[in-house]
Amino acid sequence: MVGYMAEDVLASLTEPISAAELPAALAAGARLLEVVTPMEYAAGHLEGSENMPLEELRGRLQELDPAVPLIVSCKVGQRGYYAERLLKQHGFKVRNLAGGLRMALAQQFVPQAAPAAPAGAAEQAALPVADSDGEPAADARLDLTGISCPGPLMKLQRFFAKLEEGKVVRAEASDPGFFHDSAAWAKSTGNELLHQQKKNGFVQVWIRKRAGAQVPAASAAAAMMPARDGKTIVVFSGDLDKAMASFIIANGAAAMGKKVTLFFTFWGLNILRRSESVPVKKTFIEKMFGWMMPQGSKALTLSRMNMLGMGTKLMRSVMQDKNIDSLEDLIRSAQQNGIEMVACQMSMDAMGIRAEELIDGVKIGGVGYYLGAAEDANVNLFI
């Protein structure tokens, strides 16, 4: 990845700007755009920046002046690179903040603007009395160490579902992304973020459960969500890495109380197949399809560097060593979180897959079902 980045710089595909150079560039009149989602921006952003999400950028070019230099930033730099390439192709002078928000804050060159205070913040209860360590007191502690995204948010959501109103939880995670993710989660679910800190390589947050906060199980919370707040994902690919991306995003959204629908079509259907053989009557062509396609999540391969299966085994081994949930674990979490998994009937017919061959909890639907779910969503992804 470092090699790819260096090659892009040498080929003049990107012009990075460091956090140390940023204050001078802003003083000279450059415009700083953070291309993250509104939720990420609300959870914390650089002082003096504007929020223009990457997915909205192409439709908002008229809001930008080609004569004004632009600096784009995201969380770690990748979305900033995409924004930079898009804007440069439309004639803008653009630089990408190397390392994004996280690097800028880590180097302490640029101040972070305080997250927007929720309505009625002045009336909120004061911080609990500090304990003997000088930290805010807590009614309960939650250990989220050793698990990676979206695991900390999912475990936090389940814990809060059983917590009494007014109680304070001190949660500690080893995932660096939990610092900003926890703030966004608290804001989205209506809970009160009291304090955050990074200590000895861990992220520690104190969150109070507020009355009426939306923290029940995702399946129940979905019914209370306002219109167009759901998330829909079309899972077209049957590659292991893309399947994992789909379920990581889905479980993360469910942990924030969103209604999530995964619509599996064509090669994505293989993710839902049972690993064991199921006796069903098929034509010869349908049997051939079944023999040629991976049978279930454990048989999926990587989209890149598969190396006749060696790359896939290596990836699964690395994930296990780093306590990253396997695809099978993510699927089970999706079932527990009430995420809708819908198999496309037309694709099943075309590929000779029967309902009996699919894992438990999968609905059979068509494009009408998917479009209905998409109408109630404000995010729709195709993977």
- Residues tagged active-site: 149
CB neighbour burial string for 167-182, b if at least 16 within 10 angstroms, e if fewer: ebbbbbbbbebbbbbb
DSSP-based three-state secondary structure for 133: coil
How far is the C-alpha of 244 from the C-alpha of 328, rounded, in Å?
A: 9
Helices marked H in 272-366: 284-292, 310-321, 327-336, 345-351
Q: How far is residue 80's CA from residue 88's CA, in Å, rounded to a whole number?
A: 12
Ordered DSSP codes for 70-111: EEEE-SSSHHHHHHHHHHHTTT--EEEETTHHHHHHHHT-SP
Contact 361, 341 (CB under 8 A): yes
**Which residues does residue 172 pair with via DSSP β-bridges, in sequence order?**
143, 204
- Residue 307 DSSP SS3: helix
In terms of phi and psi (left: phi > 0; alpha: psi -120 to 50; beta: otherwise), the region of 249 is alpha
